[in-house]
Amino acid sequence: MAPLPSRQYDLILLGATGYTGKLCAEHIAKHLPTNLKWAVSGRSHERLSAVVEEIKSYNPDRAQPAVEVASLSLQDLRSLTQKSRLILNTIGPYFRYSSPVVQACAENGTHYLDVTGESPWVYEMIQKYHDLAKANGAIIIPEIGLESAPSDLLAWSLATLIREKYSLPTKGVVASVHEIHSQPSGGTLATIVGILDHYGLGGLAKASAPWALSPIAGSKPSTSVPLTTRLLGVRKQPHLGTLTTSITAGPNVAIVQRTWGLLGGSKGYGPNFQYQEYMRVKNSLAGAIIHCALALGFLALAVPPLRWLIQYAAHSFYAPGQGASKEDTAEESFELRAVAEADEESSKPRKAMAKFRYDGGIYYLTGVFLAEAAMILLKEDELTRKLGGGLLTPAMLGQPFIDRLKKAGVILDSRIMPEQ
């Protein structure tokens, strides 16, 4: 697919007045090329103008963004997406507001990035718009924020390293949230409590089924899980420590599995590839408590009266569009570690290990993901021609994306482990 024709803007940031949108605009203003043609978009000209005035202070010498007022009607969005090569979308909950954004981009051959973590919505968008986007050359990548870029990039890095070092496929990757210090935004809390209302348990189960987002079916795990582990959620991994259930594992696993399928399954990572993700804890008791608390929390969300009560409490904590102050986020950090095992006939298969780490505001990191991925789609013509279009994943942007993230302060390292 040829590069996109010249349009009025290189990118439009949709939802620029929200918490994540403002942070993304800040990173664009500070770090992206000064000749970038861009705009901020939303429903309120007054609020958008205030954002523009705020970001001028970061770099007054650069080209400042234009203001594009648009509603979320399909008519407005069709007009908006025809003006730009790329849309960065930070308007959530995505299941409630952003389906017409994806539709308009798919129809007009406009690239698209977002930071959702809503697997049922992503499943729906794949079913509706993957083929249309592919036909029109629109590269659409959801979940390119904390969910699920770190997981996807670590899995890709490890499988690539094992293939390059040993000429072997990868049998599996086990990842662990080694450290996270962050506060949720209002939008995140609203999404968690609202998604069950929209899709119901049936829709959530369909999108959460193994390999649900993958274009081809993967293999089943070769080993069974002990009963105590299923009940208490605790397991031990020699290189990662004591692990328990992670609340973000579901969306991340689904995206990694989709990458496996998009890369051809056995032709890419390998025919027996599995990805699992957990959270590190200090000890087994803490792990069991967290696992049981998450299970009870999910059961509470499944009961409408309790769900509404949780939703009310969430809004009293942070309203959508709000989040922690810069001072409060200065000490935030996130680290994901992963261990991969080569697929070989050996009692001691060779392994590799990788780490993703960022010190700073986690929602600012979300803005970094969006802005740096945007530059890949805008500048890497050979890669975009190869990708073609469709509903893709963060790891499809490969090493160029990793290189840009490293320059933005992310640590992402992978290494072969000593043979036993």
pLDDT tens digits, 17-37: 999 999 999 999 999 999 999
Nearest alpha carbon to residue 68 among 91, 40, 97, 44: 40
Helix or strand or coil: residue 376?
helix
Strand ranges inside 53-96, DSSP E:
66-69, 86-89
Mean pLDDT over 107-122 rounds to: 96
The number of beta carbons lying within 10 Å of the beta carbon of residue 264 is: 11
d(CA 359, CA 127): 37
pLDDT at 191: 73
Element of type H or E holding 276: strand 274-280
Token pair in block for residue 214: 């993958």
Nearest alpha carbon to residue 37 among 62, 5, 19: 62
pLDDT at 13: 98
Q: Where are the alpha helices (DSSP H) in 226-283?
A: 227-232, 249-262
Return the bridge partners of 41, or none: 14, 68
d(CA 277, CA 193): 23
pLDDT at 121: 96
How does strand 170-181 pair with strand 333-342? antiparallel
Mean pLDDT over 197-222 rounds to: 87
CB-based burial of residue 56 (10 Å sphere; 0-12 exposed, 13-18 middle, 19+ buried)? Answer: middle
pLDDT at 205: 83
Mean pLDDT over 336-359 rounds to: 96
Task: Tell me the C-alpha to C-alpha distance, in Å, between residue 309 and each of 118, 296, 410.
Answer: 21, 15, 38
Q: pLDDT tens digits, residue range 42-92?
A: 999 999 999 999 999 998 888 899 999 999 999 999 999 999 999 999 998
Token pair in block for residue 208: 């959460």
The residue among 111 and 186 whose pLDDT is bigger is 111
Share of the chain above pLDDT 70, in %: 92
Q: Is the pLDDT of residue 151 over 60?
A: yes
pLDDT at 410: 98
d(CA 161, CA 280): 24
Which pLDDT band, with edges at 50, 70 and 90, does 352 fall under? very high
pLDDT at 329: 77
Q: Is the pLDDT of residue 16 over 80?
A: yes
